[in-house]
Chain A
Amino acid sequence: MFSKQELDRYKRQILSFGEEGQKKLKDAKIFVAGAGGLGSPISIYLAVAGVGTLVVADKDVVELTNLNRQILHYNRDIGKKKTESAEEKLNALNPDIRVEVLDVTIDESNVSELVGDSSGIVDGMDNFPTRYLLNDVAIEKNIPLFHGAIRGFHGQATTIIPGKTACLRCLFPKAPPVEVFPVVGVTPGLIGMVQATEVIKYITGEGELLKNRLFIWDGMQARTEEIQFAKNPACVSCGNLMNKE
């Protein structure tokens, strides 16, 4: 089932969730939407944890202004496709997993096909319109969406399990105005870790997920908060799902 190399690589976490949990990680296929501030730490940690197949989608090219936070990309990668840079780093970190990259802009016409048969979607997006598309596809395919977002020293995360929890649109019915947001690299680092932790827990079946709970990080005050939320029966994305129950 596992090679000697894999057993050694994952030895310390097998102590936590056993070979059985590690096998579940190996069998999983996770779609990471974006290889930017959130997508970088998320994909790095999911790769080293041994998620069997990582699909990373991003259309952008690495720019110098990305490098204060997008830790998958190095100075030497400026001008390269983010997917190319991501594939190289993730393969170097863990040759025992499969990395697939998609050099595309996620939109309404392709989102379902891109997510394909993935067992979960991780939100590394920087805008709400695309997040709503990911939310709808998660509902359509009945797979979880691990949401995260940041601004400056502030961040938020939650885990959406279609049919069981409120969806992203129940929580945030309307998108906030578009802006060029300030960001300090540590914030997507921290929120990305919360998301990656949720993915690993979901796959291995360990612990309690951030279900119907919005984790809020206020880095400025060094405080975490939690907000409980509920399904909105009038939700345009998942209201139908509720009515079927």
Chain B
Amino acid sequence: MRIKIKFYARFQEYFGSEIIKEIDNNSSDTLKNIAKSVTEDNPEGQAFIFDDAGNFYDYVILMKNGERIYSDNADEIFVEDGDEIRIFPPVSGG
């Protein structure tokens, strides 16, 4: 299956604006695991998304197909072929 992951603001500096992830069709995975696997090549950037315990920081905003996913639930949300995930930090400057 094929999943599109889009990054914004500071996260874009580490991961680019978009990653297409190909996953074996027989497997299914959670939003959290997918996000971890696509960011693992860049530990510095990953450290802004996941805390030491491996959970999303509570300020990280997650969307799946345009719908808000609260980071606490990212363990239970499964992604499917064609899904689009967006991961972004709120920007805070003014």
Interface residues of A (CB under 8 A from B): 34, 36-39, 123-128, 131, 148-152, 154-156, 172-179, 181, 183, 188, 216, 218, 220-221, 225, 227-230
Interface residues on B, range: 20 to 34
Q: Are A172 and B90 in contact (CB under 8 A)?
A: yes
- Summarize B's interface: helix, strand, loop or mixed: loop
B:60-94 near A, CB below 8 Å: 61, 63, 66-68, 86, 88-94
Interface residues of B (CB under 8 A from A): 8-10, 12, 17, 48, 57-59, 61, 63, 66-68, 86, 88-94
Closest to A218 in B: B8
Q: Are B92 and A155 in contact (CB under 8 A)?
A: no
Q: With a CB–CB cut-off of 8 A, which chain A residues contact B12? A: 154, 218, 220
Closest to B13 in A: A152
Min Cβ gap A138→B in Å is 16
Known: A127-B92, A176-B92, A177-B59. 9 other contacts (CB 8 A): A126-B94, A151-B93, A172-B90, A175-B90, A176-B89, A188-B93, A216-B88, A220-B17, A225-B86
Q: Which of B48, B58, B88, B93 contacts A150 (CB 8 A)?
A: B93
